[in-house]
Amino acid sequence: MNNKNETIFALSTPPGKSAIALIRISGPHSYESVRSISTKMPLKSNIATFNELRLNKGEIIDQTITTFYKAPKSFTGEDMVEISIHGSGAVIKKILEIFSKKDNIRLAKPGEFTRRAFENNKLDLTQVEAIADIVNAETEMQRKQAISHLSGNFFKSSKKIFENLKNILANLEAAIDFSEEDLPKNLMSGIKEQIENNIKKIEIMLGGSSIGISIRDGFLVSILGKPNTGKSSFINNISDRDVSIVTNQPGTTRDLIESFIDVLGYPIKFVDTAGIRDSSNLVEKIGVKKAISMSGEADVNIIFIENINDIITFKEIKNSIFVRSKQDILGGDFQDRGFYNISSKNNFGIKELLFVIMDNINKKIPNEKQYISRERHAECLFLTLNHLKNSRKNKNVDLFAEDIRLALKKISNLFGNVDIEDILDIIFSDFCIGK
């Protein structure tokens, strides 16, 4: 647990040369820590002020824009100061050195600013995770999903279920504490109807969980086929670098080789696999086994073939797109008899094939705008759903109430209301120092 009496500081922009760098200070001594080296510290909160930072002897360190935020109206909910300085390595080093020598202030731990915002009820846990996701977003789809979660869209929909379950539990407690004569008629039938409505809502949310997680982690596209059919050349081409070894010798690729690529704003994880063939080599046999296993997990399988007969060989693999490489030698239009011609050497058909892959992925995405983006969210909702379904079996009102109580506890873990210390340590360890 963080000590809220401590004042923390950190560089919140990447180290290195830049036009502007930002240093954050948060805690009870934040204002005084900056004022002690300032010539014109802001007198009012939320107003950016031109300020010179000086050493004790009056030597100017840098000209800055300084902003003071009075608690609770700050990101962390504490008194907070942000200093915009020139992004010189020497300036950054000097200012951080001054703060590190002060007795009433220390360097922040990774994610500590955001953790304090959470502990001061400025953010719920799903929004904390969204901040981590938006910092790590590499594609347009990841950015949109993270912003949606940061805006509280997922929080609002799940919070409605949480609040409804609280009301249900209150009514059940009343049913336990009071005689039937004192209760409204049809109370239990109304409760059961509400439970069914919540079950349907959770099932809809869970229905899009695989999509949301794929947007966050990347849709999986496996590259399969016999040896020497152009698989490795293809992944090298779209990666714009040599991620796989390309030789004329069959069986060069023996393990899974991944390449993360932004395709039209979608995060795609392409995986080059071992050439599928019978082999006596133990390592190659393991590679082939991995390739076949990967085909079952992939959102799309790109199967490289030598000729049209290979389509029959690999017909059992689902979600498949058949591709024949070496169009620069073999010729042919892009779209042929059930397969696509490409050339990784002269880029023939590469862009068109990426569009075909995206069309196949888009078919898997329902029209829902809100997706679950983390396994943790899916697990909380799944366990909540199980307890709600179990409540159907209990005719005894005490056992009925206990199932609802357990469901309420599970869904509250989404927001950090119950038993979250272990979760926090995992989440915040992924943050950078100044966030």
Condensed to tens digits (0 to 9), the pLDDT of residues 284-318 reads 667 777 877 788 888 999 999 888 888 888 888 88
Distance, in Å, from the CA atom of 101 to the CA atom of 95, rounded to the nearest integer, reads 10
Q: What is the pLDDT of residue 147?
A: 85
Q: Element (H or E) spanning 50, and its range?
A: strand 48-54
pLDDT category, 183, cuts 50, 70, 90? low
Say which residues have a Cβ less than 8 Å from residue 2's Cβ, sequence separation at least 6: 112, 115, 116, 119
Spatial contact of 279 and 288, defined as CB atoms under 8 Å apart: yes
Q: What is the pLDDT of residue 6?
A: 92
Distance, in Å, from the CA atom of 135 to the CA atom of 212, rounded to the nearest integer, reads 17
* CATH entry, 215-362, from 1.10.8.60, 3.90.1300.10, 3.40.50.1970, 3.40.50.300: 3.40.50.300
Distance from chain centroid for Cα 90: 35
Q: What is the pLDDT of residue 62?
A: 94
Spatial contact of 51 and 39, defined as CB atoms under 8 Å apart: yes
Instruction: Kindly report the CATH class assigned to 128-208+372-415.
Output: mainly alpha
Taking 70 as the threshold, does the pLDDT of residue 368 lie above it? no
**Counting every residue, how long is the chain?**
435
Question: Which amino acid type is present at position 161?
Answer: I
- The answer to whether 8-124 and 128-208+372-415 have equal CATH topology is no
Residue extents of the structural domains in the chain: 8-124, 128-208+372-415, 215-362
Phi (first) and psi of residue 300, to 5 degrees: -140, 140
The two tokens of residue 407 are 């469901």
Distance, in Å, from the CA atom of 330 to the CA atom of 251, rounded to the nearest integer, reads 22
Distance, in Å, from the CA atom of 247 to the CA atom of 249, rounded to the nearest integer, reads 5
For 206-241, what is each residue's pLDDT tens digit?
Answer: 877 777 778 888 889 998 888 888 888 898 888 886
DSSP code at position 184: P
Query: What is the arithmetic mean of pLDDT over 361-388?
Result: 81
pLDDT category, 250, cuts 50, 70, 90? very low
Q: What is the pLDDT of residue 272?
A: 86
Least Cα distance to 150 among 122, 118, 128, 119 occurs for 128
For 11-20, what is each residue's pLDDT tens digit?
Answer: 999 888 899 9
Distance, in Å, from the CA atom of 173 to the CA atom of 162, rounded to the nearest integer, reads 17
The two tokens of residue 33 are 């820590």
* Secondary structure of residue 423 in the 3-state scheme: helix
Least Cα distance to 381 among 353, 408, 345, 419 occurs for 408
For 40-60, what is each residue's pLDDT tens digit?
Answer: 999 899 999 999 999 876 889
Strand locations in 250-393 (E): 257-263, 266-272, 300-304, 320-324, 340-341
Looking up tokens 């036009």 gives 19
For helices 375-391 and 209-217, the axis angle rounded to 10 degrees is 170
Q: What is the pLDDT of residue 67?
A: 96
Taking 80 as the threshold, does the pLDDT of residue 197 lie above it? yes
pTM more than 0.85? no
Work out whether the CA dihedral 213, 219, 225, 229 comes out positive or negative. Answer: negative
Q: What architecture does CATH give domain 8-124?
A: 2-Layer Sandwich (3.30)
For 138-165, what is each residue's pLDDT tens digit?
Answer: 888 888 888 888 877 788 888 899 889 9
Say which residues have a Cβ less than 8 Å from residue 277's Cβ, sequence separation at least 6: 226, 227, 250, 251, 288
Distance, in Å, from the CA atom of 116 to the CA atom of 418, rounded to the nearest integer, reads 17
Taking 50 as the threshold, does the pLDDT of residue 82 lie above it? yes
Q: What is the pLDDT of residue 35?
A: 93
* Secondary structure of residue 335 in the 3-state scheme: strand
Distance, in Å, from the CA atom of 126 to the CA atom of 295, rounded to the nearest integer, reads 32
Query: What is the arithmetic mean of pLDDT over 354-377?
Result: 79
Between residues 245 and 27, the one the model is more confident about: 27
Say which residues have a Cβ less than 8 Å from residue 108's Cβ, sequence separation at least 6: 8, 9, 10, 24, 26, 433, 434
For 401-412, what is each residue's pLDDT tens digit?
Answer: 899 999 999 998
Taking 90 as the threshold, does the pLDDT of residue 276 lie above it? no
Going edge to edge, which strands form the sheet with 219-225?
A: 257-263, 266-272, 219-225, 300-304, 320-324, 340-341
Question: Which amino acid type is present at position 316?
Answer: E
Q: What is the pLDDT of residue 2?
A: 56
Average pLDDT, the chain: 83
For 312-349, what is each residue's pLDDT tens digit?
Answer: 888 888 888 999 998 988 888 898 888 999 998 899 99
Phi (first) and psi of residue 334, to 5 degrees: -60, -50
Q: What is the pLDDT of residue 422?
A: 47
Quickly count: other Cβ atoms within 10 Å of residue 420's Cβ: 16
